[in-house]
Amino acid sequence: MKIHFYKYQGAGNDFILVDNRNNAVNHHNPELIARLCDRRFGIGGDGMMFLQNIAGYDFEMVYYNSDGQPSSMCGNGGRCIVAFAKHLGVFDSETNFLAVDGPHYAKISAEGDWVSLQMIDVDTVNRDQDAYVINTGSPHYIAFAENLRDKNVYEEGYAIRNNDTYRKEGININFVEPTAEGYFVRTFERGVEDETYACGTGVTAVALAMAKHNNQSGHITTPVKVLGGDLNIRFDYDGLKFTNIFLEGPAKKVFEGEVEV
């Protein structure tokens, strides 16, 4: 059979998207997902998503990492599927959809390429020595770094992700360096098992960790630069709980096509 697909990217985090509202594609096939995400033998992508109907919401987001396995929440993937749903005419400017970590609200610009995605509330921030560990829909390890542009993120991220503490469940490793405007972040993602150009739940986790680290509270806006561009995180923090968390950034269609499977 042939699958009609769309390719989207959000700050360089790229995804294969399929309109599966007719349930024509049985996507419980890790080998197929991994092959389609392969950058040499498939379409190529950090992950693959299926937009499906579900009662009570505009749509459901079903996400797989590039290794073909079901994944926890993907923030940039969430922004891209919102732009995709807008393209399909599923909603106009605001939407409520269901993802693996629960309901999400999102708003898209009139131009259709800037998405503000509400993330889950966070009330737990843990420490692993000098690093912060936060779950923003996916688990994240946040460590300070110097000369981050020159760091071997793959090597160091791989080592932390596969140490005795995190090997079994896996964790995403974020290295953060303060800048004049905000922060520069590079991320090693589990499931992709490599550095990606951006990680939405990762930059969200970094923004929350930095607010706690700097003893900030109130309404906070945090600009973050990643390899793929610029993202923005805004939220409220009362010293105990992070609420009204929004991940904001670009989400753009790259191309569409058909693939034989």
Q: How far is CA 41 from CA 25, 32, 33, 35, in A?
A: 20, 11, 12, 7
Q: How far is CA 136 from CA 20, 72, 204, 205, in A?
A: 27, 10, 7, 6
Whose tokens are 């040499």? That residue is 40
Whose tokens are 């109130």? That residue is 218
Q: Do 171 and 86 touch, CB atoms closer than 8 A?
A: no
CA angle, 105 then 107 then 109, to 5°: 170
Report the catalytic residues: 74, 199
Alpha-carbon distance of 212 to 238, in angstroms, equals: 10
SS3 at position 41: coil
**DSSP letter string over 116-157?**
EEEPPPB---EEETTEEEEESSSEEEEEE-SSGGGS-HHHHH
Alpha-carbon distance of 192 to 66, in angstroms, equals: 5
